[in-house]
A and B are shown apart, each in its own frame.
Chain A
Amino acid sequence: MEIIIRFLEKNGLVVAFLLVGLIMYGSTILSIRLTNRKIPASAIAILIGLVLAYLGGIYSGGEKGVADLKLFSGFGMMGGSMFRDFAIVSTAMGASFLVMKQTGWVGALSLLIGVFLSFMGGVAVALLWGYTDAVSLTTIGAGACTYIVGPVTGAAIGASSDVMALSIAAGVVKAIFITIATPFIAPSIGLNNPHSAMVFGGLMGTTSGVSAGLAATDPKLVPYGALTATFYTGLGCLICPSLLYLFMRLLFPA
């Protein structure tokens, strides 16, 4: 038994290819048999991934979902940011430069509005829970942008570690919620064309949430959403600890 586990661990990436292939196969069957293709196979597969991540996290007590189990250690490599970004870039092959150019300025506008709205949403929730100091409010608001903006901002303005942890958790919740909700909400917000996908990417921002949510909705939209989303974390890291922090200090002087 130990020999087998050690073998699987040593060949982690290839084992992950095999297991993800099996998950995709299983979810295709589920999609056809149970939902009559109403819920796309990719959405089911992503959901299975999230459930596995939850079980893995509970079983191992780690932070990297299923990758903390030896048998699944290759998932960390396959699902890591290098492979993810490499594959996202490749999807640009079928994308239209014309559409990107036309929607470019609205994409930029949606980035600004997205960061601002997410920040304010996070701040409002934090206020409801009784936080009143500018540093904590800003950090939690930044966490509502992405789980990278939160800790970067918190470190820059000197937030306490429990507020930092809270901001990371908020960012992770955001990414997962977008992943699950996007395919269901897409029809009612007109998310079915490259234009709206670029706006969507700019407003949501969190790369893992946007890329997974659009993949579950319609893979053709992925490059457009990813194009704007890729600027979001940088923009958030730029204006949350500076402009928005100063703004919060004006509203809530110490």
Chain B
Amino acid sequence: MIIYGVAILAFCYVTGQLAGELLGQLIGIDANVGGVGFAMLLLILLNDWLIKRDHLDKLTEGGILFWSQMYIPIVVAMSAVQNVKVAVSSGFIALLAGIVPVLLCLATVPLLTRLSKPKPVDQDGDYYPVS
């Protein structure tokens, strides 16, 4: 049934977000730390486990896939409720303080990505085959 899928998703959401809230409390800050991330990891593991046990039928899966298809429309609605007015009208310093960090970080993306890609190991230190 569709509702089983929605309920599984809701279970992951509630558990993960709650863990994020508690983690935030634990380290003494007023914010959710990683709630969505925990929920996502939980969903991946649960999904794996259910598939292995053959408990996941098409309809149940549909209850989760429906929401991932709704993602972009929800993001469109989200962008329509942003405080764009304040962003446009708050003057040059806010514009720069928002944009400069983004440019700095964007420039760092390729650097860090190179770190994460598995590289071929060479035993002779700096030998790179030419071909």
Interface majority SS on A: helix, strand, loop or mixed?
Answer: helix
Q: Tell me the complex Cα distance, A215–B74, Å.
A: 11
Given the contacts A166-B94, A234-B24, A49 and B77 also touching, CB distance less than 8 Å = yes
* B: interface residue count bin: 35 or more
Interface majority SS on B: helix, strand, loop or mixed?
Answer: helix
**Interface pair B78/A234, CB less than 8 Å apart:** no
Shortest distance between the CB of B116 and any CB in chain A (Å): 4
Query: Hey, what's the 0/1 contact readout for A130-172 against B, CB within 8 Å counting as 1?
Result: 0000000000100111001000100000000000011111111
Shortest distance between the CB of B29 and any CB in chain A (Å): 4
Choose from A126, A177, A200, A234 the contact partner of B34 (Cβ within 8 Å).
A234
Q: What residues on B are CB-neighbors of A222 within 8 Å?
A: 71
CB-nearest residue of chain A relative to B98?
A: A173
Shortest distance between the CB of A94 and any CB in chain B (Å): 7
Q: Tell me the complex Cα distance, A143–B83, Å.
A: 15
**Interface pair B12/A196, CB less than 8 Å apart:** no
What is the size, in residues, of chain A's interface with B at 8 Å between Cβ atoms? Answer: 115
Q: Tell me the complex Cα distance, A233–B24, Å.
A: 11
Which B1-24 residues have a C-beta within 8 angstroms of A?
Answer: 9-10, 12-13, 16-17, 20, 23-24
Shortest distance between the CB of A55 and any CB in chain B (Å): 9
Q: Does B86 contact A (CB under 8 A)?
A: yes
**Interface pair A215/B72, CB less than 8 Å apart:** yes
Q: What residues on A are CB-neighbors of B40 within 8 Å?
A: 88-89, 91-92, 95, 223, 226-227
Q: Does A71 contact B (CB under 8 A)?
A: no
**Interface pair A126/B82, CB less than 8 Å apart:** no
Shortest distance between the CB of A75 and any CB in chain B (Å): 5
Q: Chain A residues in contact with chain B, CB under 8 A? A: 16-17, 20-21, 23-24, 42, 45-54, 56-58, 63-67, 72, 75-76, 78-80, 83-95, 97, 100, 102-103, 106, 109-110, 113-114, 117-122, 124-126, 128-129, 140, 143-145, 148, 152, 165-179, 181, 185, 189-191, 195-196, 198-200, 203-204, 207-208, 211-212, 215, 219, 222-223, 226-228, 230-231, 233-235, 237-238
- Can you show 30 pairs from A to B with CB atoms below 8 A apart? A46-B76, A49-B80, A54-B84, A75-B81, A85-B35, A88-B36, A89-B36, A89-B40, A90-B43, A91-B40, A95-B40, A113-B105, A121-B97, A121-B103, A124-B100, A126-B93, A144-B97, A144-B98, A152-B31, A170-B98, A172-B83, A172-B87, A173-B98, A196-B110, A196-B113, A203-B112, A208-B78, A211-B78, A222-B71, A231-B37
Q: Chain B residues in contact with chain A, CB under 8 A? A: 9-10, 12-13, 16-17, 20, 23-24, 27, 29-37, 39-41, 43-45, 47-48, 61, 64-68, 70-88, 90, 93-110, 112-113, 115-118
